[in-house]
């Protein structure tokens, strides 16, 4: 893990997950199971969520969405999820987007 993004980086995991669920649940009834499965696979809970895990969660959810949603819709949802991520972990998101890249 990159030292700039230490485990102590703050993110309000429960609020972040609540917003994620708000975007994902309306898509399909299976989303409840998919969210739980992805969090379990990441060995994470809303309370233990770090920016790194939140970002991995988004990537995993987008991969799942590609299996049953059209690409333009998946991209729209991905943008919504990333917007929520930037709200929840602004310093991490800014560093990820602009820092360390050539």
Residues 38-94 pLDDT 10s: 999 999 999 999 999 999 999 999 999 999 899 999 999 999 999 999 999 887 766
In a domain, 5, yes or no: no
Range of the domain at 62: 12-98
In a domain, 75, yes or no: yes
Q: Given pLDDT bands bounded at 50, 70 and 90, which one contains residue 100?
A: very low
In a domain, 91, yes or no: yes
Work out the number of other CB atoms within 10 angstroms of the CB of residue 31. 18
Q: What is the DSSP secondary structure assignment for residue 99, as one 8-state letter?
A: S
Coil vs helix vs strand at 27: helix
The total number of structural domains that make up the chain: 1
């Amino acid at each position: 893990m990159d030292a700039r993004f230490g485990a102590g980086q703050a993110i309000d995991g429960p609020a972040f997950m609540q917003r994620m669920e708000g975007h994902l649940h309306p898509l399909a009834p299976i989303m409840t199971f998919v969210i739980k499965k992805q969090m379990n696979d990441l060995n994470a809970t809303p309370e233990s969520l770090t920016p790194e895990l939140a970002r991995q969660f988004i990537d995993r959810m987008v991969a799942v969405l590609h299996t049953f949603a059209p690409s333009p819709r998946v991209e729209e949802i991905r943008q919504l999820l990333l917007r929520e991520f930037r709200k929840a972990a602004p310093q991490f998101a800014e560093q990820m987007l602009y820092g360390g890249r050539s």
